[in-house]
Amino acid sequence: MTSAYASYPSLQGRSVLITGGATGIGAAFVEHFARQGAKVAFLDVDAAGAQSLLDTLGEVAHAPRFLRCDLTDLDALHAAIDTARAHIGPIAVLVNNAANDVRHTLADVDAAAFERNVAVNLRHQVFATQAVVPDMRQLGGGSILCLGSTGWMKKNAGYPLYAMAKAAVHGFVNGMARELGHQRIRINALVPGWVITEKQRALWLDAEGEAEIARVQCLPGYLMADDLARMALFLAADDSRMCTGQSFIVDGGWV
């Protein structure tokens, strides 16, 4: 079956900032927004991955701008956002995507590991949001997408601090929806299930994983990064103008 996917005229020329955009789900966000005619800037520490993405993207109306940035360094984050703004204009859409679901146990956790995990998976979402709110207020509105996860909802083992941080993302979204809504700024959680990226294939998709997908996912086949990107386009576009403070789960119907 062939599919024709939606185009969103309101995204043409719209300034979009994406964190963690070099590979995986983030790279799909960069590609899909660029192909909609948006002006995209993306942040990542992976310069090689970013260059590979840009090399394969082909011709688009506005070539995405890559900015190397360690998001756990808040000074670097603020400087990168300032640079992005200088290149693409006031930020109208923020996609808080960057995260790292590195496996660990509670016994592994010390104070440094705790701080590092929160910095990678949660803190930058708060401060990137804070940095772009004045832009969105200036523009008369905007859309913020905070990447959550179904992992903590399913009570998965193996990453308690990641689960904690991702649960907190939902609290942040709910806690900001009313305040930002009064300024016509929408904020939503985009919540992936098990997205089969190259990293997932390499590290965790084995025969047991294949069997689990077949057993508990309502829809057959793999959940892909493109599936998340298409939901992100809708939530960034004017089509979703009355959607805020919500969690949009894209997981293939995992039960």
The one-letter amino acid code at 95 reads: V
The sign of the CA dihedral 70, 62, 37, 135 is: positive
Q: At what angle do helices 124-139 and 74-88 cross, to 10 degrees?
A: 30
> How many whole angstroms from its chain centre is CA 63?
19
Torsions phi, psi for 93 (to 5 deg): -135, 130
DSSP state of 39: E
Q: What is the C-alpha to C-alpha distance for residues 196 and 87, in angstroms, rounded to an integer?
A: 32
* Catalytic-residue membership of 162: yes
Q: Is 90 helix (H, G, I), strand (E, B) or coil?
A: coil
Task: Single out the catalytic residue among 5, 8, 159, 162.
Answer: 162
Spatial separation of the C-alpha atoms in residues 74 and 45, rounded to whole Å:
14
Q: Look up tokens 């057959």; give the residue.
A: 220
Name 40's bridge partners. 16
Residue 224: strand, helix, or coil:
coil
How many angstroms separate the Cα of 245 from the Cα of each of 90, 98, 174, 240?
23, 20, 5, 12
Whether 74 and 19 have beta carbons less than 8 Å apart is answered as no
Q: Which amino acids are annotated catalytic?
A: 162
